[in-house]
Amino acid sequence: QMCEKFTVCENSMEMLLHNNLNLPKVTEEDGDFLTFLSFQDKCLRKISSGLYTFQTYLKYVQETFISENQNVESLYYSAQHLAQTLREMVINPEEVIIPDAATQESLHAKLKSTKAWIEKITIHLILRDFTSFMEKTVRAVRYLKNTRSFSV
């Protein structure tokens, strides 16, 4: 939809130049995905922390992408619920990283200060990376559910 409505597409040079968002990801540093998944608690902590971090970004998308406000609001609350559920499953829930209010406010202010023409690119990058993060989350949860006594 972003590509069609606003001509903000994957191969946009502007997108590549301005991608300094530091969004949560599962990266090569986490090791091979299956090896990463073999450590259930670490996996759950990583996913829950990432979902908590995405909350500020999703709030920004909700406030900025007005035409899709309800869909983004639903996405925001679903991600929040999943983050809380997974955090409860971690052996030491306090190890899940939840950005504090000051960090969230600072990030929110930084996002809001972007120029209007960058807003669309920022929204696209957030939604693209959130989609990728959730695809890996679904794979992880399925893997854990199928290989361990794990229920969501």
Tokens of 47: 């996913």
Window from 17-31, 61-75, 115-129 with minimum mean pLDDT: 17-31
Q: Are 108 and 56 contacting, i.e. CB atoms less than 8 angstroms apart?
A: yes
| Listed residue (21, 3, 20) closest to 12, CA to CA | 3
Q: Has residue 95 got a pLDDT over 80? A: yes
pLDDT per position as a tens digit, 3-57? 555 555 555 545 544 556 767 776 554 444 555 444 678 888 999 999 999 999 9
pLDDT value for 48: 94
**Full-model pTM:** 0.74
User: Going from the N-terminus, what domains does the chain have, and what CATH number goes with each?
Assistant: 33-149 (1.20.1250.10)
